[in-house]
């Protein structure tokens, strides 16, 4: 079972207390955007085989959203962090690069 630490309340909880919210750090496009941008925002997803950044909500706990970095092939969790950011924190990126030298980086 997947265990994540909620960075908002500091509790380590299992996935039954959480709600998965899909890919994190998606650029939001609204009124006036091109069709391609809007499609990107609504439907296009990275779906990587490996390191993935996701949104999670601690529904049966503090109720707040947070982000997690996780491997989709091994379910290894690299870390969780506050949702109040546009990019993953630098120390986490460094940690993942060390653990997974073949990883092409967050921008890919």
Partner 1 sequence: MKRYSAFAIAKNAVNYHRGWERAWAKPEPKPEYDAIIIGAGGHGLATAYYLGKNYGITNVAIVEKGWLGGGNTGRNTTIIRSNYLQDPSAAIYEKARSLYETMSQDLNYNVMFSPRGVMMLAQTEHEVRGYQRTAHANALQGVETKFISPQRVKQLCPIIELSGPRFPVLGALWQPRGGTARHDAVAWGYARACSDMGMDVIQQCEVTGITQSGGQVTGIETTKGVMKTKKLGIVVAGNSGHLADMGGFRLPLESVSLQALVSEPVKPCMDVVVMANTVHGYMSQSDKGEMVIGGGTDGFNSYTQRGSFHHLEETVRALIETFPMVSRLKMLRHWGGIVDVTGDRSPIISKTPLGGCFINCGWGTGGFKAIPGSGWAMAELMSTGETQGLAAEFGLNRFQEGRFIDESVAAGVAH
Contact by Cβ (8 Å): 29, 40: yes
What tokens appear for 37 in the block?
């941008």
By beta-carbon proximity to partner 1, the closer residue of 1 and 31 is: 1
3-state secondary structure of 20: strand
9 touching partner 1, by CB under 8 A: no
Report the site for partner 1 in 56-95 (rule: CB under 8 A). 70, 72-75
20 touching partner 1, by CB under 8 A: yes
13 touching partner 1, by CB under 8 A: no
21/82 Cα distance (integer angstroms): 14
By beta-carbon proximity to partner 1, the closer residue of 70 and 93 is: 70
């Amino acid at each position: 079972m997947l265990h994540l630490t909620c960075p908002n309340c500091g509790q380590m909880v299992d996935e039954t207390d959480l709600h998965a919210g899909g890919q994190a750090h998606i650029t939001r496009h609204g009124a006036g955007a091109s069709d391609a941008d809007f499609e990107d925002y609504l439907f296009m997803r990275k779906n990587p085989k490996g390191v993935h950044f996701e949104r999670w909500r601690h529904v049966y706990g503090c109720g707040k959203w947070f982000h997690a970095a996780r491997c989709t092939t091994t379910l290894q969790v690299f870390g969780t962090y506050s949702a109040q950011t546009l990019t993953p924190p630098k120390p986490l990126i460094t940690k993942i690069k060390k653990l997974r030298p073949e990883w092409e980086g967050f921008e890919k």
